[in-house]
Amino acid sequence: MKFTRLCAASLVAVIGLSTLGSTQAFAADDATELDSTGKVTVTEGEVGGGTDTKDPEKPTEPITDGGGGEITTQPNKGPYGIQAVSNLNFGTFSRQSATVEKFSQPVKIYGAEKDALGNPVITDGKLTADMNDERLRGQYVQWADLRDGGNGYQIQAKMTEQFANGSNKLVGATIDYSNGILNYNTAQLGTMPKMGATVFQLTEDPAASAVVVATADAGAGKGEYFAEYGQSAGFVGVDGIENTLDTTGSSVKLTVPAAVAASAPTGDYVAKVTWTMVAQ
């Protein structure tokens, strides 16, 4: 019985040593590497607030109008929406018995002043203009979709108020847009929205449908985009084609019927064009 027990004890000892040796060999190999983990949380983005305006021809560069009233920025914030629109300035015309056609002046913008780290300078909640960096652009609308999910959207334009000076209106006046292009930061991934009408007319007719200027299908159109009507000479679009003519001041036209142009009371007339992002 002792022998048996001794043998049994010896056998246990041998097995234990063998197992220990195996464990040590495995542990030695395994000790040469060890995984750590990385964690990051992704949330929906935010657009609006007035400081996310960029150059429609250089989509990565922050810009401002320097307080000149050239662009209207979005004061509200959200995960998607219209960020900025340019304002139309058709100058002056004299009363006459002929149809009036006037092109809107180019949009005057400035690159944003930057600090020592290259970040745009914000003063009183607004981008600070670098007055030595003046740029002329066509009329444009800027929008972004930074939602988690969503089923696409449309960008629409509609004349919601006719040119008016008090109770006086330029009845029948129309605004024609042409030379429309879609632009964006080409570093953005995913499916881009589709450009809608590149040439269209806005009228005061309340029954008229809004014009669709861009459409994004479900899952597409994420990021930031611009529709610009008229481009500067030398501009190179996402298609790689260089624009040889400056069309910034010849792409958005006001037309006033002769009968109205001859009898309209003098003064400043203001219309309203509403740009809407219709989320699907």
> Both tokens of residue 43?
């949330």
Instruction: List C-alpha distances in Å: 216 to 142, 150, 166, 221, 254.
Output: 14, 10, 39, 5, 29
The SS3 of residue 246 is coil
The yes-or-no verdict on residue 8 having pLDDT over 90 is no
Q: Model confidence at 24, in pLDDT bands (50, 70, 90)?
A: low
Mean local confidence (pLDDT), 19-48: 79
Q: Model confidence at 27, in pLDDT bands (50, 70, 90)?
A: low
* Surface-to-core class of residue 1, CB atoms within 10 Å of its CB (0-12 exposed, 13-18 middle, 19+ buried): exposed
> Both tokens of residue 69?
């009233």
Q: What's the pTM?
A: 0.86
| Nearest partner of 161 among 85, 269, 11, judged by Cα | 269
Provide the total of helices (H) and of strands (E) in the chain, helices listed first. 2, 22
> Both tokens of residue 146?
């930074």
The residue with greater pLDDT, 9 or 111, is 111
Q: What angle do CA 180, 240, 65 make, to 5 degrees?
A: 50
Q: Model confidence at 28, in pLDDT bands (50, 70, 90)?
A: low
Mean local confidence (pLDDT), 50-72: 95
Is-contact 173 257, C-beta < 8 A?
A: yes
The residue with greater pLDDT, 47 or 149, is 47
The yes-or-no verdict on residue 60 having pLDDT over 80 is yes
Q: Model confidence at 177, in pLDDT bands (50, 70, 90)?
A: very high
* For the chain, domain boundaries: 49-233+245-279
